[in-house]
Amino acid sequence: MDSHPQILFVASEMYPFSKTGGLADVMGALPLALSRLGVSVGVITPFYGRLASSEFPLRLIYEDCPVGYPWPDTTADIFLADYHGLPVYFISRGEYFDRRFLYCTHKGDYFDNCERFIFFCRATMEWARRLSSPPEIIHAHDWHAALVPAYLHFLRKVDTFWKKTKSVVTIHNLAFQGRFAYRLFLESGLPSAAWNSSGAEFFGDFNLLKSGISYADLVTTVSPTYAREILTPEFGCGLEGILNHRAADLRGILNGADYAVWDPRQDRYLPSTYSPETPRGKLRCKESLFHELCLDPELLSRPLLGFVGRLREQKGIDMLLDILPELMRKDVSVVVLGEGNLQFEAQVQDMMETYPGRLVARIGYTEDLAHRIQAGVDLFLMPSRYEPCGLTQMYSLRYGSLPVASALGGLLDTITGYPDPESTGFIFTPPDARTFLQSIELALEVWERPAEWKAMRTRAMCKDYSWSSAAQQYIQAYTDIGADLSPA
Ligand code: ADP
Ligand code: GLC
């Protein structure tokens, strides 16, 4: 394990230690893909008190690292895990991170989120300052880590340790910016020079993601299409101005899928494995899922449709709810796995009572069931209103569950829509309930033509979105901003 990584990732979640969505999957895979290309990588992430994995034990390596926030004598403890040979440093301070959820409860965001992530970013800089040599790149992900490039920008001017280090910020979801009152800017430790409209300020508020976008040496996002979309008012979430300002330093690098975790050939959560050459196991997965979810066995020979994702407007769960009555008239069954907005959760559960045995909703977060749904369904539904990249559709392609998805963001970059001769799924635009339903109807028509369906399924399963291509593009990006990544 290399204790002075050339690239230091900073992120608020990382699979298998903590996860609420795709960001965690990226953190669990991209550092490994980079290290396979010969670059040394480390990760810094919060220690949430409970760990989702006991496979990688943690060791306390530093006590009372001074952070100086929010009180002059505040400190963090640092834990270390060896993640397949990569160092993962955990920033620990119970009062901030030892909570049941990562960012919010059903009642809303934790009231002190700004304080928690100022603390995290400052602790990151303090801990990184104690490494034996500075990293070539600090790579911050999403708003929770976005103050790191801002701190670096100003520290570089006064501390020679940081002189050569460059920063990257990656936007995984522009809708979450970390926007707080000006008062918290004053406490953040950023100099007053950062308070302007091309810095940390956003309409009088302190905006953490904007701070990162303003001060990072390079800004990336997770698909080429989303990189173009966020320059427009429709997708820019108010930050299109600063993003256009930084357009020359903005790149879209498509995420990958971690096939060590998401591949039906070797998925440990499946009752039966399968591949394009031996697809029969997929039917066994469907049968077993029917049994597990108590779906009506009469419908086994008909298409099973699945949705796995956060029950939020982004994911278009309301569109699915709108068309469910119509879908139920088509002799299909539907499974929904997700959690999120209380109202959506209640609506899905109500509908389940209306259509027993035909619609099953599991409210909650269940990693293993997500895998079994990917394997057991025929169609995977992803009617997103925006989608920076989306990983679940990449997984569904690999599992031969053809995606029905909106034609935007990373969905457009990963799915080839029917009737293209190379089609791997069904894409529709505009993202509304009516076109979504029409797209499912088209998919059901193709399903009635088994030869065509099987050919499409095989094409989908053979698509390769592994991380190596993204890792190469990140290495190119790091080098372009001046990182020296030659072996130490
Ligand atoms: P996002 O990050 O916007 O939520 P992605 O498609 O990039 O969307 O990644 C979502 C990840 O979270 C996938 O690994 C998916 O399987 C997982 N996931 C989402 N909701 C659930 C859930 N309720 N239970 C288990 N896994 C879930
Ligand atoms: C975000 C996006 C999702 C993306 C993921 C990982 O959560 O909503 O589209 O796949 O980050 O980059």
Structural domain contains residue 431 = yes
Asked whether residue 307 falls in the same domain as residue 215, the answer is: no
Asked whether residue 217 falls in the same domain as residue 317, the answer is: no
Number of domains in the chain: 2
Give the contacts of 169 (CB within 8 A, at least 6 positions apart).
Answer: 139, 140, 141, 145, 146, 149, 209, 212, 213, 216, 218, 219, 220
Asked whether residue 32 falls in the same domain as residue 129, the answer is: yes
Q: Is 172 in the pocket of ligand 2 (CB under 6 A)?
A: yes
Between the CA of 388 and the centroid of ligand 2 the distance, in Å, is 6
Asked whether residue 183 falls in the same domain as residue 61, the answer is: yes
Show pLDDT as tens, one digit a residue, over the chain (488 residues).
Answer: 666 899 999 999 999 999 999 999 999 999 999 999 999 999 999 999 876 667 899 999 999 999 998 889 999 999 999 999 999 999 999 999 999 889 998 888 999 999 999 999 999 999 999 999 999 999 999 999 999 999 999 999 999 999 999 999 999 999 999 999 999 999 999 999 999 999 999 999 999 999 999 999 999 999 999 999 999 999 999 999 999 999 999 999 999 999 999 999 999 999 999 999 999 999 999 999 999 999 999 999 999 999 999 999 999 999 999 999 999 999 999 999 999 999 999 999 999 999 999 999 999 999 999 999 999 999 999 999 999 999 999 999 999 999 999 999 999 999 999 999 999 999 999 999 999 999 999 999 999 999 999 999 999 999 999 999 999 999 999 999 999 998 86
Asked whether residue 76 falls in the same domain as residue 187, the answer is: yes
Judge contact between 302 and 331, C-beta under 8 A: yes
Structural domain contains residue 271 = no
Q: What is the pLDDT of residue 51?
A: 67
Asked whether residue 215 falls in the same domain as residue 289, the answer is: no
Structural domain contains residue 487 = no
Token pair in block for residue 327: 């879908």
CATH of the domain at 452: 3.40.50.2000
Asked whether residue 394 falls in the same domain as residue 285, the answer is: yes
Q: Residue 52: CA atoms inside 13 Å, Cβ hemisphere, count?
A: 17
143, 258, 391: which to mutate for ligand 2, most atoms within 8 A of CB?
391
Judge contact between 17 and 6, C-beta under 8 A: no
Asked whether residue 18 falls in the same domain as residue 56, the answer is: yes
Structural domain contains residue 187 = yes
Structural domain contains residue 38 = yes
Q: Is 339 in the pocket of ligand 1 (CB under 6 A)?
A: yes
> Which structural domain, as residue segments, surrounds residue 334?
280-464
15, 18, 19, 25: which to mutate for ligand 1, most atoms within 8 A of CB?
25
Provide the 3-class DSSP secondary structure of residue 434: helix
Q: What is the pLDDT of residue 53?
A: 63
Between the CA of 370 and the centroid of ligand 1 the distance, in Å, is 8
Structural domain contains residue 401 = yes
Structural domain contains residue 268 = no
- Please state the atom number of ligand 2 nearest to the C-alpha of residue 226: 9
Token pair in block for residue 154: 């100003």
DSSP output for 283-310: HHHHHHHHHHHT--GGGTTS-EEEEES-
Asked whether residue 250 falls in the same domain as residue 189, the answer is: yes
Q: Is 68 in the pocket of ligand 1 (CB under 6 A)?
A: no
Asked whether residue 336 falls in the same domain as residue 414, the answer is: yes
Asked whether residue 110 falls in the same domain as residue 142, the answer is: yes
Q: Is 410 in the pocket of ligand 1 (CB under 6 A)?
A: no
Structural domain contains residue 262 = no
Asked whether residue 219 falls in the same domain as residue 301, the answer is: no
Q: 154 — phi, psi (to 5°)?
A: -85, -35
